[in-house]
Structure 1
Amino acid sequence: MACIASALKALCLSLLFVAIASRPTNKPEVFNVLRFGAKPDGKTDSINVFTNIWKSACASKGGSSKIYVPKGTFYLGGAVEFVGPCTNQIEFVIDGTLLAPSNPGDIEKGTWINFMYINNLLISGAGTLDGQGKESWPLNDCRKNPNCKLAKTMGFSFVNNSRINGITSLNSKMGHFDFFAVHHFNITGVTIKAPGDSPNTDGLKFGSCSNIHISDTHIGTGDDCIAILSGVTDMDISNVKCGPGHGISVGSLGKGKDEKDVNGLTVRDTVFNGTSDGIRIKTWESSASQIVVSNFVYENIHMINVGNPINIDQKYCPYPPCEKKGESHVQIQDLKLKNIYGTSKNKVAVKLKCSKSFPCKNVELVDIDLEGVKDGPSTAVCENVHGSAHGKMVPQQCLNGP
């Protein structure tokens, strides 16, 4: 009997070993760009290498895929597109530098690096996207020329259940990161850098997106740190440092005929340092669409020498004179600002200039403490805004009643 028991025990152990040995490890298939011919010399164009690697990684059926860009400088001399759908999850790890051409004419499309129609994408690493925008900025005439063509650094269209973690975007020609029709997307630990006078270099721009989470990110650029456009819902922003730049802006809204509501924004535990604006909502005076902006919460926001710490502008006119055909038709409602504190460069620290036809309603101010840094105590300006105020109020609040 003892022999039989020992034999059974040995058999069980053998079967267990076989089961463990044959169990899939779930390790991703790794595509190191060096092994496929990319040169880290900052000169050799690696576009074909990257696109071929993407096609292989996207079509791989052996589990997840990992594209690895090691340290070194890899030149991508034109627009590159990474298109799905893919058969698996793809991790794109960038530890080196991806270098754009300095000549803006070499990128013939609106985005230098573009991801489209992909689910379960992870972009991570300690690397840098260098847009080499310095030569492009003096050529930027987009204020006057609607057909101006300068490329954004990285774009995402129809990309879902994905995230970016840890990378740096440097000196974009236009915007740094652009998101359209993206849902369930996380952005964490990203750094965005461009000079404060670099035109139209928005940090993160979103349109028609939902369930977006941005955290622990530092943005310093020449335009909006974060721009939130038509059709964005359920966005959470926390622990962001913004400056230089134009703040976190909703809009501009109302100019297009087919724009959609913007609903469900939370901004918390964020610092604006030396920006032209902090909290900003801007809508065109002569609206082509009637939409609603609602359910916004701004909480625990620190302003350091900000030009316009709180700024609702429903007569937005960036390049006057603007055609005036009536009041803005964008309804702003259910807006809460709590524990907003710090310093304002301008005497008017709180501007709430709402539409006469569609007054702002249910605006709640709680513990506002914004001191002026010159010209005496700070002040507030209100037009067509209804709501309530509680706690400390510096400057003195000017809301109409409910």
Structure 2
Amino acid sequence: MTCNIASAFKALCLSLLFVAVASRPTFRPKVFNVQSYGAKPDGKTDNANAFTKVWKNACERRDGSSKIYVPKGTFYLGGVEFIGPCKNQIEFVIDGTLLAPANPSDIKQDTWINFRYINNLFISGCGILDGQGKQSWPLNDCHKNTNCPKLAMTMGFAFVNNSRINGITSLNSKMGHFNFFSVHHFNITDVTITAPGDSPNTDGIKFGFSSNIHISNTHIGTGDDCIAILSGTSNVNISNVNCGPGHGISVGSLGKNKDEKDVQGLTVRDIVFNGTSDGIRIKTWESSASKIIVSNFVYENIQMINVGKPINIDQKYCPYPPCEKKGESHVQIKDLKLKNIYGTSKNKVAVNLQCSKSFPCKNVELIDINLKHNGVEGGPSTAVCENIDGSARGKMIPQNCLN
């Protein structure tokens, strides 16, 4: 359903609902239109002060909920922070385009639009978050340049609970699109995330120290991970997501820092990976500083279309200096089920299960795997198994290498 049709349908439903309850007292949210506070949709006036003023008034309202409305038009916005706690529930409806500064140094914070310390925040609409990242991507060379500039992520959430995002589009972020830290009970639905496949570090959705996250009916195409699940995250449910281009759905990298926490309870179902470098990916640092557990993962009904490494457990992760390949990962992976994974692999090794010698993978189940090689090397697909305890049943292409 297109945005305009959806809006019309929503309006019709609301009008019918209004007729039905006209005889009852109504509790509508108070609407705060950003243009009423001086915001200009001209694509060049910095509206940060107007948006901050709107947020303050909406957040402090005590009698009933608040609705912040961004109408159609292009609203240029320097870095802005929306900080709670608020007195009520806030709905933030974006139907226009929010335009970031093209020059990365014009954003003086590490996230362009940041929400902190808020409960019951509902972001929706047909709008676009335009990160204008093209000018920033050539500067993103921190792996070889210690003086690289710090680039802003598009939208961040920290200490935000019982909230959701629905319907909006994030376009051409400078770094990651959506970043979540210490966020609990959060739903992401019908979101579109887009950046070119060669744009560095433009992760789609990134979570750390978060729990009870649901992502569904979402399309993500970026230059890095479509979704990244990091330290301290639990109970994540991902379904009906199209991923590509990008680096797949990644857990990690994990183990690099001493203060990391376990990652547990991930369900990934009904996913299409199209042209990604990886599909299912778990990566832990070879010389890890922390001993943590990665457990209770289910991957089911997943299609791979020309994916570089469809199934990739890499416990020898060491992407660039100064990291050194000198030890075994101390991250324990266990209780992992992969069921009905099918499609095509660019590499001959379609199933790569490289686990830690010190902490072998435990209880890994492979059920109905059908991954055919269609790359330039020729020959059938193969599997690699190292330091892994598990079982396989059903159709197995490539041939199972588990003991």
Fold similarity call, TM over 0.5: yes
How far residue 34 of structure 1 moved from its aligned partner, in angstroms, is 1.3
CA, structure 1 residues 21+299, in 2 after alignment: closer, same or farther (shift >3 Å)? closer
1:55 aligns with 2:36: no
Which amino acid in the other structure matches residue 109 of structure 1?
Q
Please report how far the alpha carbon of residue 148 of structure 1 lies from its aligned counterpart in structure 2 after TM superposition: 3.8
CA contact (8 A) 2:318 2:325 kept: no
* CA distance in structure 1 between the aligned counterparts of 2:322 and 2:371, rounded to whole angstroms: 31
**Pairs within 5 Å for 1:139-218:** 139-145=139-145, 148-218=149-219
Answer yes or no: is 1:130 the counterpart of 2:133: no
Match of 1:232? Answer: 233
Structure-2 separation of matches of 1:177 and 1:139: 20
Normalised to the residue count of structure 1, the TM-score between the two structures is 0.93
Alpha-carbon distance in 1 for matches of 2:327, 2:131: 41
| Matched residue SS, 2:339 | strand
Partner residue, 1:116: 116
Partners of 1:119 and 1:148 in 2: CA distance: 33
For residues 84-99 of structure 1, the aligned pairs below 5 Å read: 84-99=84-99
- How far 1:25 moved relative to its partner? 1.1
Instruction: Report percent identity of matched pairs.
Output: 81
Residue 4 of structure 2 is matched in structure 1 by none
> Deviation of residue 58 (structure 1)?
0.1
Amino acid at match of 1:328: S
Describe the SS at the equivalent of 1:53.
Answer: helix
TM alignment of 1:330-345, pairs within 5 A? 330-345=331-346
Shift of 1:322: 3.0
Of 139-148 and 340-349, more deviation after overlay is shown by 139-148
Per the TM alignment, residue 125 of structure 1 is displaced from its structure 2 partner at its CA by 0.2
Shift of 1:62: 1.7
Distance 1:90 1:341 in 2: 42
Maintained 8 Å contact 2:244/2:273: yes
Per-residue CA deviations over 1:70-120 (Å, capped at 9, x if unaligned) read 1000000x2100000000000000000000000000001100000000000
SS at match of 2:259: coil
Q: Identify the residue that residue 355 of structure 1 maps to in structure 2.
A: 356
Q: 1:255 aligns to what? A: 256
Conserved in 2, the CA contact under 8 Å of 1:65 and 1:88?
yes
Query: 2:246 & 2:285 partners in 1: Cα distance?
Result: 21
| Distance in 2 (alpha carbons) for counterparts of 1:72 and 1:224 | 31
Residues matched between the structures, number: 380
**Equivalent of 1:399, from 390, 395, 402?**
402
- SS of 2:394's partner is strand
SS of the aligned residue for 1:34 comes to helix
Task: Measure, in 2, the Cα distance between the counterparts of 1:22 and 1:361.
Answer: 62
Partner-residue secondary structure (3-state), 1:142:
coil
Q: Is the 8 A contact 2:236 2:267 kept in 1?
A: yes
Distance 1:263 1:292 in 2: 8
1:389 correspondence with 2:403: no
Distance 1:23 1:371 in 2: 62
CA distance, structure 1, for counterparts of residue 338 and residue 262 of structure 2:
20
Q: Which amino acid aligns with 1:149?
A: K
2:357 and 2:22 map into 1 onto residues whose CA distance is: 72
Displacement after TM superposition at 1:323 (Å)? 1.6
Report the alpha carbon displacement of residue 54 of structure 1 after superposing the two structures with TM: 0.1
**Deviation of 1:22 (Å):** 9.6
8 Å CA contact 2:335, 2:364 repeated in 1: yes
User: Between Structure 1 and Structure 2, whose CA radius of gyration is higher?
Assistant: 1
Query: Is contact 1:274–1:304 with CA below 8 Å preserved after alignment?
Result: yes
The one-letter amino acid of 1:389's match is A
Question: Structure 2, unaligned stretches of length 5 or more?
Answer: 1-20
Under a length normalisation based on structure 2, what TM-score does the superposition of the two structures give? 0.93
Distance 2:216 2:142 in 1: 30
SS in 2 for 1:31: strand
1:323 corresponds in structure 2 to 324
Aligned to 2:10: none
Query: 1:321 Cα deviation (Å)?
Result: 6.4
Return the offset for 1:184: 0.1
- Does the 8 Å CA contact 1:29/1:62 hold for their aligned counterparts? no
How far off is 1:144 after superposition?
Answer: 2.9
Cross-structure match for 2:16: none
Moved more, 59-68 or 22-31: 22-31
Q: Where does 1:268-279 land on structure 2 (aligned, <5 Å)? A: 268-279=269-280
Match of 1:8 in 2: none
Q: Which residue of the partner structure matches residue 29 of structure 2? A: 28
1:24 CA drift (Å)? 4.0
- 2:250 maps to amino acid: S
Instruction: Return the letter of the residue paired with 1:387.
Output: G
Contact 2:139–2:149 (CA<8 Å) still a contact in 1?
A: no
Moved more, 281-290 or 140-149: 140-149
Q: Is residue 98–residue 128 contact of structure 2 (8 Å, CA) maintained in 1? A: yes
In structure 1, list runs of 5 or more residues that go unmatched. 1-19
What letter corresponds to residue 267 of structure 1 in structure 2? V
